[in-house]
Structure 1
C-alpha cells in the first residue's frame, strides 16, 4: 500500500511546528490548571463528534466535558478549511463567517501560505442588557505548508459569502510512461 496516496502532503507541518514551540498552554478547568496538548485537542474533537451525532437524533446537548468559552475561542483561532487536489490544481476553501473581505490577508512566505485576519464587532447596543453573548471576535491565523509541486506564481483567491477560495496551480510532473519488458528464459 502506498501511504503517500492516503496522505500525500502534510499541509499543516508549519502550523504544527508553531504549536509545538508554544505548548504547553495552561487551561483553567474548575479552578485547576491543566496543560493543553494535542491529545487534549483530539479528546475535544471526539467529544464534538459525539455531540453532533446525538444532536442529529434530536437529543439535547450531552455536554461531554466541553468547555464552551475555551473551545469557541480556539475554534475561532483556527477557522475550518477544506483542501482538495485535482490533476492540475489544489483548491482550499476557508470558512470565515462574519468576516469582511477587507479584514482577510493572504500571504506567501517561502513555502508557506499564511491566511490571517480579524473578525470585528461592528455595533454596540446600549439599550439592551445582554445576559449572554455567544459570538466570537478576534484575530485568526492558519499556516499551510505548500507541497513541492505547488506553482507559487499562479495562486489565486476569491472571497464570496464568508468563504475564501484559494486556487493553487500544480507544476507539471514528469510523465509516467509504461512499456512491456520481454522476459528471457534463463
Structure 2
C-alpha cells in the first residue's frame, strides 16, 4: 500500500511522547514570568546538588543554565536493571530583556526547583514626546 508510512506527527502529542520520546525538547523544562521589575526563571531539577552540578551565567543578554545529572550507583538486580531517568549534561539558554547584568542575578534551590531572579532595568516610557524648540 502506497502512503502507509506513519509520520511522527500522526499521533496525538501525549501518545507520541510516550511511545517515541521527545526529539527537540530539552528535558530541562523552565517557566518564565515577571514579578514586578524582576524576571523569574524556574527550572525543575530534582535530585541534583546545585553547588556541584549547576552553573549559571549571563553573557551578551542571555541567561545560560548548564549542569549535569549524575547517575547514582544503585542496586542492580541479577535479572537486569531498567530506568527511565535521564542522566547526563543539560543546558538551557534564555534571552533576557535589555540591560540585565550578571552582577544582579540571584539564584536559589529548594525542593527540586532552581529559581533564578534577574532584575530588569526600568524602561523609558513608550511613545513619542514633544520636543521643545528654544528661541535664541
- Contact kept, 8 Å, 1:78 with 1:141, in 2: the verdict is no
| Counterpart residue number, 2:58 | 108
- Contact kept, 8 Å, 2:97 with 2:120, in 1: the verdict is no
| Counterpart residue number, 1:145 | 95
Q: 2:40 aligns with which of 67, 91, 101?
A: 91
| Counterpart residue number, 2:110 | 160
User: After the TM superposition, which residues 27-46 of structure 1 pair with which residues of structure 2 at under 5 Å, given as runs?
Assistant: 43=9
**TM, length-normalised to structure 2:** 0.71
Unaligned stretches of 5+ in structure 1?
1-31, 35-39, 49-62, 178-186
**TM, length-normalised to structure 1:** 0.54
SS of the residue corresponding to residue 106 of structure 1 reads strand
Name whichever structure is richer in helix by fraction. 1
Unaligned stretches of 5+ in structure 2?
128-136
| Counterpart residue number, 1:81 | 30
Query: How far 1:97 moved relative to its partner?
Result: 1.7
CA distance 1:78–1:132, shift in 2 (3 Å): closer
Q: 1:124 aligns with which of 64, 71, 74?
A: 74
- Contact kept, 8 Å, 1:119 with 1:137, in 2: the verdict is yes
Moved >4 Å (runs of 4+): none
Query: How far 1:78 moved relative to its partner?
Result: 3.6
SS of the residue corresponding to residue 41 of structure 2 reads strand
CA distance 1:166–1:64, shift in 2 (3 Å): closer
- Contact kept, 8 Å, 2:28 with 2:92, in 1: the verdict is yes
RCO higher in structure (CA 8 A, sep ≥6): 2
Name whichever structure is richer in strand by fraction. 2
Query: How far 1:95 moved relative to its partner?
Result: 0.7
SS of the residue corresponding to residue 82 of structure 2 reads coil
CA distance 1:64–1:110, shift in 2 (3 Å): closer
- Deviation string 1:95-154 (CA, Å, 9 cap, x unpaired) is 112222120111222211110111111113244433532221111110111111434431
